[in-house]
Amino acid sequence: MLLRDRVLGGLWGAIIGDALGVPVEFTSRQERRRDPVIDMRGYGTHHQPPGTWSDDSSLLLCTVETLCEAEYQPDQLADLFLAWLECGHWSPHGDVFDIGIATRTALHRIRQGIAPEWAGGAGERDNGNGSLMRILPVALRYADAPIEDMLFMAHRISALTHRHPRSQMACGLYCCMAKGLLYGLTPTEAYRFMLEQGLRYYNVAPFQTEYPHFARVLSGDLSDVLEDDISASGYVVHTLEASIWCLLTGRSYEEVVLKAVNLGDDTDTTGCVAGGIAGLHFGFANIPSPWIEMLARRSDVQGQIDAFFTH
Ligand SMILES: [Mg+2]
C-alpha cells in the first residue's frame, strides 16, 4: 500500500469515526446493542445533520493546518484553537456544539495570556481524552524523526490542553502505534512496536510512576480482553485501550470504527481515535466512499489533508 493511502486513510478515518459517533454521544452500550450504528446517521444527541464532525476533528484539522508549516509554533496552534472556539474555524457548520471541560479551561487560560505550552491542566483529574483525540497528525508529521523527537512533539502539543504526564504518555504511545502502522506493520506488530518503544522511552520520571495506570495496555495482551471489560469513557487511558482493542479485534475499517462507536458513552472520540489507526492500517481506499461523500465541508477537508501530505 502506498504511504499516501495510509496518511489519507488515517486522517479521513479519524474524522469519519468522529462523525459516526456524534449522533449517539453519551448513549449507553445497552442502547447501542439494541440499536447498533451501522451507517452514517444524523441528528440524535447534538441535533446535527449526517456527516457532522465534532471538536475532535476540528482540533485535529487545526493541528494538521499548523503542521503544514516548516516549523511548529505553539502560538500559531493556540491561535487556531481560539479561532475554532470563538469563530468556528474548522467547525463543520460554523458553530461549536461540543467541547471538553479541560480544553475550554485551557483555551480561556491562553486567552488570558498564559503561554500555550503551560495552559493545559496538569492535575490527576485533568486526564480526559481531549489531547489524544487530536494527536494523530503529530505521528504522521514526525514519523521520520527519531522516536524521542516524535514523542517530545506529542507531549508539547498535548500540553496546550492536557499537560499531565498521563495524557502526554497516552498521546506518545498512540503515536508509536500510528508510526508502526504507517510503515506497514500489522496491528499486532504495531502494538508490539508501541510496547517496546514505550517501555524504553517512558522508563524515566515523570512517566515511570504512570505505569500502573497503563498496566493493561502495557501487558501486551489487550486483544484477549472481553468487550464487557473495555470502557469507552472520556478518560484518556480508557480511550487508548478501547481504540487499540477495536483495531486488534476488527477485520476492516468499517468493522473497527463501528465497533468503537457501538461501545457507547464517548462514541465520537472513541470512534475518532480508533478510526485514525484503522484508517492508517486499512488505507483510504477501504473507507466506505458514501461516508466520505456525506461529510460536511468535504472539499475543504480534502484540500487541507492533501496540503499536509504533499508538504
Ligand atoms: Mg467530540
pLDDT digits (tens, 9 = 90+) for 7-40: 999 999 999 999 999 999 999 999 999 999 999 9
Specify the pLDDT at position 50: 97
Contact between residue 154 and residue 170 where contact means Cβ atoms under 8 Å apart: no
- 199 Cα–ligand 1 center, Å: 30
Answer left, alpha or beta for residue 43, where phi above 0 means left and psi between -120 and 50 means alpha.
left
Report CA-CA distances (Å) from 193 to 167, 176, 218: 20, 7, 11
**What average pLDDT does the structure give for the chain?**
97
Interval 155-175 mean pLDDT:
98
Q: Which of 275, 2, 302 is nearest to 133 (CA)?
A: 275
- 147 Cα–ligand 1 center, Å: 29
Residue 311 predicted with pLDDT over 90 = no
Topology of the domain comprising 3-310: ADP-ribosylglycohydrolase fold (1.10.4080)
Interval 34-62 mean pLDDT:
97
Provide the pLDDT confidence category of residue 95 given band limits of 50, 70 and 90.
Answer: very high
Q: pTM value? A: 0.98
Interval 247-264 mean pLDDT:
98
- 45 Cα–ligand 1 center, Å: 11
- 21 Cα–ligand 1 center, Å: 8
What one-character DSSP code corresponds to residue 262? Answer: T
Interval 159-188 mean pLDDT:
98
C-alpha cell at 259: 465497533
Specify the pLDDT at position 173: 98
- 59 Cα–ligand 1 center, Å: 10
- 98 Cα–ligand 1 center, Å: 6
Specify the pLDDT at position 1: 78
- Domain ranges for the chain, please list them: 3-310
- 191 Cα–ligand 1 center, Å: 25
Contact between residue 296 and residue 16 where contact means Cβ atoms under 8 Å apart: no
* pLDDT, tens only, 209-245: 999 999 999 999 999 999 999 999 999 999 999 999 9
Residue 304: CB partners within 8 Å, gap ≥ 6? 61, 64, 65, 68
* pLDDT, tens only, 271-281: 999 999 999 99
- 19 Cα–ligand 1 center, Å: 9
Query: Which 3 state secondary structure label does DSSP give 311?
Result: coil
Q: Which of 296, 297, 303, 282 is nearest to 9 (CA)?
A: 282
Bridge partner residues of 235 (DSSP) = 128
Query: Which 3 state secondary structure label does DSSP give 14?
Result: helix
